[in-house]
Structure 1
């Protein structure tokens, strides 16, 4: 059994449903401290939802020119989503189990194996290069699968307040489609949600002239918003981003009775938007549609994250080369999919990418990862370190 697999199993065996860490960060700290990392626990959140974050850093020596060494951060999360019905799992979700060349367990793919690969890659790199020219750090949170307000964002705010600089960051989210290394994320779309309340007048369904049906009132505006979305009218996207998409996620109205016209309708919707649109432009267009139909409404907006893009540079090229050397794959750069904590890190770091295992089983019953890909992932991380060290020396 490889050291990476051993560490992955150790982490998977610790129940850590968000926001719990389950002792995972202590395990990581015990591996990192002997390597010269300074360990710092950054706590955040209310007492009943306390989040622990690990910031571990190993500072390289200042160059003879007086220039500070650049810093590469590996970022990830030890918390996992709830297991769902345990009796539907073939084996217990927190008992690492092997079947048919796969490792099963909650967090096997998302993303305890990536964290194990971070640590072992660093151990191997430092064994070969005891005094590298690059500073190394790990940012590990237990609030990625939860609200995401006391985890990575809290650490980034702390680092920014202290003036600590991050030059490069690799987030270990599962990004591969069919084989480890076939896709990396060099950006993400923005996400913005709206909670729209259409006001009507409740009444008896047999006397519609004495009421005002909010569902009927909203229907023309909904049709217009859907038409904009269907026609790709929010924006056309660009070479790096898909066109902006608007989707309704929930529609609630009525009392449950079959003879009552509802007094209100509440609609939840979400934008996933490219860099061709802004928060302001999208909000203005939605309000313009609603206002054009003379609706009586309130609309509360929540901005979950802005779009970001890491252009090809030192980090992208190092990872591309590492993947090619290890797997022979010419990796695809992509900004598809949902959001990740990279959106917070991108605010304080210009070069952020995500690279991790195949994402097909994440959040599912019987989550798993191909055992053979675990060493591949670790080697990609180690080769990336080697490439950066060479390019920066």
Structure 2
């Protein structure tokens, strides 16, 4: 049986599956077909939760005596947007001038395609790694991430699975292959503050209490002073207001309430709990200020709420994992990759609780964009990086 050693062929098969979250779209079936000749035992559990779509996932293991390496990723993709704006159909995997086009090309069907090709080449050359390899692939990374990796990890652990390390194939490189390995992630905390005022006519402001004035006072306190100056491995903590809403369509009515939603990306100066306490203290102190509320003596009346399940900050210290991947990247690209904690969240935030995890994949410049695409030369280089990493991590090279 032919082994899936060509990353371009593997990627084309995956792109042609319209697996927009939460649809499986045939992508897991295509991946299972690639893994079959490599000796993987494949299971595809479906997870459910109230008010969310059912999601199919894949867990595959090739067992041998020795350490256990996990490769993690997702086959679900974001919607294509305006399909007419694409120069090549988003699910056709067309190649033009050495570049493959398609939704998921870099985020992150390309990473999966390369890892499968790398493992296939390793099996073809050596018979296989001196240990176990598993693939933990979700269909819910681009969605709410409720019925995906978090439940798949719990499911696998309950069945006795244990891992020594994980490579997550997200697109980590900003400009060229070899730029960056992600060795940690900032935490993410989302909340909303609502100011309660008193509705009235704009011509008679003394009879009302405009909640926007109080909200501006509170938002001032959230934006300054800075939460911190950053740490050795992390950027400074950053808070961004993401929406402001008063629910008011009338231009001559002072609204009764105003709500601002915000998100904080925080470093290892904070835990989610200590940051929540800091934000509440800032708002409580600011509620007694009168900068925008001349003549008011009572404090701003506000409510603070938090979204469930904040993402916690983490940093991977596993030298074998980080060092082996760094050396593999440099050997193929000639570039010493930066070890970074920048960017948004990923499923690494779940995996870190089970084993050390690092992230390395393709160049992410076109992810989520019209004409998402990847150079065929990058697919070959990433496959070679992964092949070297597999051999070196198992101590075979």
Report if TM-score (shorter chain) is over 0.5: yes
User: 1:347-366 alignment to 2 at 5 Å?
Assistant: 347-349=353-355, 351-366=356-371
Larger deviation, residues 78-87 vs 304-313? 304-313
Structure 2: stretches of 5+ with no match in the other structure: 288-298
Who is 2:303 aligned against?
A: 298
For 1:64-123, what per-residue CA distance to the aligned partner results, in whole angstroms no more than 9, with x for missing partners? xxxxx2211111110000000111111211111222322111111111111111111111
Q: Secondary structure at the match of 1:91?
A: coil
The answer to whether residue 45 in structure 2 is matched with residue 59 in structure 1 is no
Larger deviation, residues 324-333 vs 39-48? 39-48
Change (3 A) 1:98 1:131: closer
Which of residues 225, 242, 249 in structure 2 aligns to 1:256?
Answer: 249
Aligned residues: 380
Who is 2:329 aligned against?
A: 323
Q: Secondary structure at the match of 1:291?
A: helix
For 1:146-196, what per-residue CA distance to the aligned partner results, in whole angstroms no more than 9, with x for missing partners? 001110111112233344211111111101122112211011101010022
Which of residues 351, 355, 373 in structure 2 aligns to 1:345?
Answer: 351
Distance of 2:337 and 2:282 partners within structure 1: 41
Contact 2:197 2:256 in 1 (8 A): yes
1:273 positional shift = 0.6
TM-score, structure 2 as length reference: 0.92
Who is 1:110 aligned against?
A: 107
Distance of 1:102 and 1:29 partners within structure 2: 25
Distance of 1:27 and 1:144 partners within structure 2: 18
Q: Secondary structure at the match of 1:305?
A: coil
- The two structures, once aligned, show a CA RMSD in angstroms of 1.7
Who is 1:40 aligned against?
A: 43
Who is 2:129 aligned against?
A: 132
User: 1:158-237 alignment to 2 at 5 Å?
Assistant: 158-228=155-225, 233-237=226-230
Q: Secondary structure at the match of 2:224?
A: helix
TM-score, structure 1 as length reference: 0.93
For 1:170-226, what per-residue CA distance to the aligned partner results, in whole angstroms no more than 9, with x for missing partners? 111101122112211011101010022111111111121221111111222211221
Distance of 1:235 and 1:37 partners within structure 2: 47
Who is 2:290 aligned against?
A: none
Distance of 1:347 and 1:106 partners within structure 2: 30
